Structure formats: C-alpha cells, structure tokens
Structure 1
Amino acid sequence: MKVLLTGAGGFIGRHVLDALDKQGIETIAVGRRKPDTWSGGVFEVADLLEIDDFDAFAGKIGATHLLHLAWYAEHGKYWNSPLNLRWSEATTRLVEAFCKAGGRQVVIAGTCAEYDWSYGFCREAETPIEPATLYGSAKDATRRLAIAICREHGVPCAWGRIFLTYGIGEAPQRLVPALADVFRGERDPFAIDKDCFRDFLHVADLAAAFTALLTGGANGVYNISSGEPVRLGDVVGWIAGILDGDAERVLRLTSGRPGQPPLLVGENRKLKELGWRPAITMQQGLRELIARNTHGHAHMPRMFG
C-alpha cells in the first residue's frame, strides 16, 4: 500500500498522517508547503488548484491508495466561498487521473453539511441531501462525480461525511478553543445555543476512522461521527469546570439563532461495521486539549493543505 495524502498540513491532515505513520503505511503527503511539524517522510510540494496535468502528477506519485482531505476551510469564510467550485473541479480531476494511473482505492472527506439539517439525526441512506450552503452543495456535487468516476474504473470510493471535530491544532476561533479562551479570561464571553445538541468527535478518532476506510476497502458513503448527541450547554459547563471558570458567564448570554437545528448527529453504524470505535470521550478529549494549550499557552498554527 502506498498512500497519496492531500491536505496533510491541515488540522485533520496532520492527525491522519500520524495515524498512517503509526500503522507503518507508506505515505506521500502533498500540499502547498511542508508543515512546521513535519518530522520526515516524503512530502511533495504541489498546489492542487494550479496543476495543469493531473495525469502526469498521478503517474509520478504512483500511489495505490488516495486519501483526499484538501479543501478550502478558512474559518467563517468557506461556507459560501467561490473557491468551493475550484476545489470541486480539482478533486474530480485528481480522482480521474488517480484511477487512470492504476489506483486501487479512493477515500475522500465529505461533510455533514450535505444533509438536510432539519432532520436532526442523519443516516447515510435515508436522510435527504439538501445542502444549505455553497460548501455543502460543492461537496455533494463532488461526491456524485467522484463516485461515478470510480465506478467507471472499477475502483472503490469511500466518502466520509465529517460531523463536528475538535482537538489539538484546530483554529482558535472554533467553539472549543474559543470557549477555553473565555474561561482563561483571554476573550469576551459570547452567546451560544445552549439547548442544541451536536455530534462531536475527537480528531484522533476521526483520523482512525479515515484510516479504517482506507485499509478496509470501503465503498460508498459513511458518516464519521460519534453517534452521541451532546448538549452545547454541557460543553460550556465541562470547559468551565476544567478551567475553574463560571459557566454562567456564557450560559446567561445564550439565545437561539434562526436556522440552527436543535439536533445534529450522525448515525455511525456503517463505520462501526468496519471495526472502528471512538476511543476518546468528549470530556477526556477536552481535558487533554485544554491541558496541552494551558501548559504551552499557545495554539498550534493553522495551516492548509
């Protein structure tokens, strides 16, 4: 097995790279720049949005497996960015070239934003696909095209729909690190929808899930989720407790935002059938994350693949 990994410098990609390395899987990572945390291995400098000849690129790499994570993901901007369209095109061109070059397995990162969130509990084969953003629409269109391309070449294609991820290296503006900053006194409290339930998965468990899809010959759509709804007010309370803060500083500000579903959780039965199980509870993950950031008192830099 020789894996071509895109997005290795991103929040998720760095953890996936670590998971592949621990299993001794030969990996060629691709990105615009080598991550600061890079510890060795093969890194190919390439901007997937600027490649003219994907056939030559895929032929040179010579990978048997493709794990494609790279996409535009700048916090607060990616939901309706026109860059989503460029990433859709680059992804389908990469998948086609990889299949033509003799690739044997494709795994691609999708998103829970492909679903109609009004249904709350998302099942791969039952919940309607009705994206509310350009990001979700571009991912959905890419899924359809990538699976069709792979079908034409007889190559299995697993599409992993990611729900809410947290852990070491995420952008400081995201919910968990932002709440930690509130209770450290480093930012002002902000309102959240405390009575909404969400599906959180630690990034290490997410990386293990992508590895399971890659090594298990998976084909089709898989939710990558904890399967456990967590109340946002409880997340506030856990983080406040770890940092000896007053949860009411945030909870008293809460107010419902229009369009936010009261429940968003993904069934993960299909993924579990591959032998995967989440290993880190959210309370465990929060303690680890906050302890690391408190001792270093700095967030890891955010990078993109």
Structure 2
Amino acid sequence: MKVLLTGASGFLGRHVLHSLRQRGIDTVLLCRQPPADPKVTAWIAADLLASTDWVALVAQAQATHLLHLAWYAEHGRYWVSPLNLRWVDATVQLTEAFCQAGGQQVVVAGTCAEYDWSHGYCREESTPLHPATLYGVAKDAARRLVMAVCQQHQIPCAWGRVFLPFGAGESPQRLIPSLIAALRGQRAPFGVNASAYRDFLHASDVAEGLLTLLQQGAQGAYNISSGQPVQLQALIRQLAELLHAEPAPLLALASERPCEPALLVGDPQRLQALGWRPALSREQALHQTIQEAL
C-alpha cells in the first residue's frame, strides 16, 4: 500500500499523517508548500485549486490508495465560501485521474453537515441528506460525484462523515479551545446553547476511523463519531473540573437557541463493524487537549 494524502498540513491531516507513520504505511503528500515537518521526505508540490495536470500529478505519486482531506476550512467562513464549489471540482478531477491511473481505493473526508440536522440522530442509511449550508451542499455534491466516478471505474470508495472533531492543531476560535481559554481567564466568558447535545470526537480517533476505512477497502458512507453526545453544560463543567476553574461565568451566559438543533449525534455502528473504536474516553481526550494547549 502507498497512500496519496491531501490536506496533511490541516487540523485533521496532521493526525492522519501521524497514524499513517505509526503503521509504517508508505505515504506521499500533495501540498502547496514544503512540509514544515522535517520527517516528511515524500511530497509533491501542487495547488489543487490551480490549473493542474491531474494525470501527471497522480502518475508522479505512484500511489495505490487516495486519502483526500483537503478542503477550505477557515473558521467561520467555510460555511458560505464560494471556494466550496472549487473544491468540489478539484476533488472530482483528482479522483478521476487517480482512478484512471489504476488506483485501488479512495477515501474522502465528508462532514456531518451533509445531514438534515433537524433529525438529531444521524444514521447513514436512514437520515435524510438535506444540508443547510453551502459547505454541506458542496460536500454532498462531491460525495455523489466521487462515488459515481469510482463506481464507473469499479474502485471502492469510502466517504467518512466527520462529527465535531477536536484536539491539537484546531483553530483557537472553535468551541472547545474557546471554552478552555475562557475557563483559564484568557478570554471573556461567552454564552452557549447549554442544553444542546453534541457529538465530539478527538481528532486522533477521527484519524483512526479514516485509516480503518482505507485499510478495510470500505465502500459507501460512514459516520466517524463517538455516538455518545454530551450536553454542552456538562461539557463546560467537565472542562472546568479538569482545569480547576469555575464554570459559573460561562453557564450564567447560557441561552436557548431555537435555530440550532437540540441534538446532533452520529450513529457509528457501521464503522464499528469494521473494528474501529475510539481509543480515548471523552475525559482522556479533553485532558490531552488541555495539556497540548499549554
């Protein structure tokens, strides 16, 4: 197995690259800039949103497996950015070139934003796909097109719908780093929809989920989620306990938000059937994230 990996410099990509190394899997990166990690020796310079000779690019990589993570992910902007449309095109063209070159397996990172969140509990086979944002629509469109391309070439394709990852390397503006900063007094307290339930999963376990799909030759859509939602007020209290801080300033600002789903959780049974399980409990994952943020 030789993996062609995109998005290795991103939040999830760093964890995926670490997991690939731990397994000793031969990997070549597609990236715009030379990797900051000195351990990376196999990489190809490429801007996937620029005019690209996709056939030559894939031929240079000589990979058997494609793991595509790259996408526009700037916090707060990716939901509505027109760059989502360009990433649909880049994803499909890369997949088509990889299939034409005789690739054996394609795995792409999707998102829970493809689902209709009003259903709360999301199952691959039964929950409607009715995304409410341009980001979710673009990801779902990319999934349909990529699956069709792979089916035409008779190559298995797995689509991993990622639910609320957290951990080292994520934007400090995201929820869990923001809560940690507020509890440490590094930023002002802010309000959250404290009664809502959300499905968080440490990025290292997300990475292991994606690699499970890759190594098992999986086909179809899979939730990469804990399946164990936590109420946000309980999350705040748990973080406060780990930080020896007072949760009251945050909880005092909590408010109901009818426009947000009361529950968002993914059913991970399909991925678990392939042998995957989260390695970290929520407490372990939060403790590790706090330590990494020091």
TM > 0.5 fold call: yes
Alignment of 1:79-158 (within 5 A): 79-158=79-158
Distance 1:292 1:128 in 2: 37
Higher relative contact order by CA 8 Å / sep ≥ 6: 1 or 2? 1
Distance 2:46 2:172 in 1: 27
Structure 2 residue identity aligned to 1:62 = Q
Contact 1:63–1:103, Cα closer than 8 Å, also in 2: yes
Cα drift, residue 44 of structure 1: 1.6
Where does structure 1 lack aligned partners over 5 or more consecutive residues? 295-305
Distance 1:258 1:281 in 2: 30
Contact 1:162–1:223, Cα closer than 8 Å, also in 2: yes
Structure 1 residue identity aligned to 2:87 = W
Q: Which moved more, 1:285-294 or 1:226-235?
A: 285-294
Distance 2:153 2:54 in 1: 16
Alignment of 1:56-71 (within 5 A): 56-71=56-71
Cα drift, residue 38 of structure 1: 4.3
Distance 1:24 1:253 in 2: 48
**Two-structure CA RMSD over aligned residues (Å):** 0.9
Where does structure 2 lack aligned partners over 5 or more consecutive residues? none
Distance 2:30 2:282 in 1: 31
Distance 2:77 2:62 in 1: 34
Contact 1:9–1:34, Cα closer than 8 Å, also in 2: no
Deviations 1:113-151 (A, max 9, x none): 000000000000100000000000000000000000000
Deviations 1:252-298 (A, max 9, x none): 1011224210000000111001110011111111111112222xxxx
Deviations 1:30-61 (A, max 9, x none): 11123434423312221100143211111121
Deviations 1:54-73 (A, max 9, x none): 11111121111000000000
Match of 1:12?
Answer: 12
Match of 1:23?
Answer: 23
Distance 2:74 2:165 in 1: 15
Match of 2:292?
Answer: 292
The answer to whether structure 1 residue 255 and structure 2 residue 255 are counterparts is yes
TM-score after normalising by structure 2: 0.98
Distance 1:56 1:196 in 2: 48
Give the match's secondary structure for 1:159.
Answer: strand
Percent identical pairs in the alignment equals: 54
Deviations 1:220-276 (A, max 9, x none): 000000011111111111111122211011011011224210000000111001110
Contact 1:19–1:208, Cα closer than 8 Å, also in 2: yes
Distance 1:199 1:20 in 2: 25
Alignment of 1:196-275 (within 5 A): 196-275=196-275
Number of aligned residue pairs = 294
Cα drift, residue 203 of structure 1: 0.6
Q: Are the structure 2 counterparts of residues 262 and 38 from structure 1 closer, same or farther at C-alpha, using a change threshold of 3 Å?
A: farther
Match of 1:186?
Answer: 186
Deviations 1:124-179 (A, max 9, x none): 01000000000000000000000000000000000000001001111100111111
